Amino acid sequence: MQITVGHRIDGKENSVEGERFAEIYNPATGEVSRRVALASAATVDVAVEAAAAAFPAWRDTSLARRTQVLFAFRQLLDARKTELAAIITDEHGKVFTDALGEITRGQEVVEFACGISHLLKGSMSENASTKVDVTSIRQPLGPVAIISPFNFPAMVPMWFFPIAIAAGNTVILKPSEKDPSAANWIADLWAEAGLPPGVFNVVHGDKVAVDRLLDHPDVKAVSFVGSTPIARYVYQRAAINGKRAQALGGAKNHMVVLPDADLDLAADAAVNAGYGSAGERCMAISVLVAVGDIADELVERIRARAVTLRTGNGREDVDMGPLVTEQHRDRVASYIDAGEEGGATVVLDGRTVTPYGDPEGFWLGPTLLDNVTTEMPVYTDEIFGPVLSVVRVDSYAEALEMINTNQYGNGAAIFTNDGGAARRFQNEAEVGMVGINVPVPVPVSYHSFGGWKNSLFGDTHAHGTEGVHFFTRAKAVTTRWLDPSHRGLDLGFPQNN
Catalytic residues, by residue number, are: 282
User: Among 39, 468, 47, which residue's Cα sits nearest to residue 218?
Assistant: 47
Write out the E strands in 71-178. Answer: 123-129, 132-140, 143-147, 170-174
Distances in Å between the Cα of 357 and the Cα atoms of 93, 98, 156, 225 are 12, 18, 28, 31
Distance, CA of 146 to CA of 429 (rounded, Å) = 30
Let me know: does 4 contact 24? Beta carbons within 8 Å.
no
Q: What's phi and psi for 283, nearest 5 deg?
A: -105, 15
Distance, CA of 361 to CA of 218 (rounded, Å) = 42
Residue type, 312: G
Task: Tell me what percent of the chain is helix, strand and coil, each rounded to the nearest 5.
Answer: 40, 25, 35
User: Among 175, 174, 158, which residue's Cα sits nearest to residue 166?
Assistant: 158
| Full 3-state SS string of 216-270 | CCCCCEEEEECCHHHHHHHHHHHHHCCCEEEEECCCCEEEEECCCCCHHHHHHHH
- Residues found in the chain: 497
Q: In what order do the strands lie in the sheet with 221-225?
A: 12-13, 8-9, 200-202, 170-174, 143-147, 221-225, 244-248, 456-457
Distance, CA of 461 to CA of 449 (rounded, Å) = 5
3-state secondary structure of 177: coil
User: Among 212, 213, 233, 230, which residue's Cα sits nearest to residue 222?
Assistant: 213
Distance, CA of 474 to CA of 243 (rounded, Å) = 16
Outline where 319-369 has alpha helix (H): 326-341
First and final CA of the chain: distance in angstroms?
76
Exposed e or buried b per residue across 79-96, where buried means at least 16 C-beta atoms within 10 angstroms of its C-beta? eebeebbbbbbbbbbbbb
Half-sphere exposure of 359 (CA within 13 A, CB side): 2
3-state secondary structure of 160: helix
Outline where 360-449 has alpha helix (H): 377-380, 396-405, 419-428
